[in-house]
Amino acid sequence: MLHIQTFIRYLKFEKRYSIHTQKAYEVDLVQYNDYLASEFDSTAHQATDVMIRSWMMFMIGSSCSKRSLNRKLSSLRQFYKYAVRNGLMESNPMLRVISMKTDKKIPSFVSEKEMTHLLEDINYSNDYEGGRNKAILQMFYYTGMRLSELIALRVDDIDFSLNQVKVLGKRSKERIIPLLTTHLQDLRQYLDMREAHFSTSKKHLFLTASGNVLYPKLVYRFVNSYLSRVTNLSQRSPHVLRHAFATHMLNDGADLNAVKEILGHVSLSSTQIYTHSSAEQLKRVYKQAHPRGDL
Catalytic positions, please? 146, 170, 239, 242, 265, 274
In this structure, what are the phi and psi dihedrals at residue 175, rounded to the nearest 5 degrees? -145, 160
Taking phi over 0 as left and psi of -120 to 50 as alpha, with beta for the rest, 172 belongs to left
Contact by Cβ (8 Å): 144, 263 = yes
C-alpha span between 104 and 283 (Å, rounded): 22
Which of the 8 DSSP states describes residue 94?
Answer: G
Contact by Cβ (8 Å): 47, 36 = yes
Taking phi over 0 as left and psi of -120 to 50 as alpha, with beta for the rest, 154 belongs to beta
C-alpha span between 262 and 144 (Å, rounded): 7
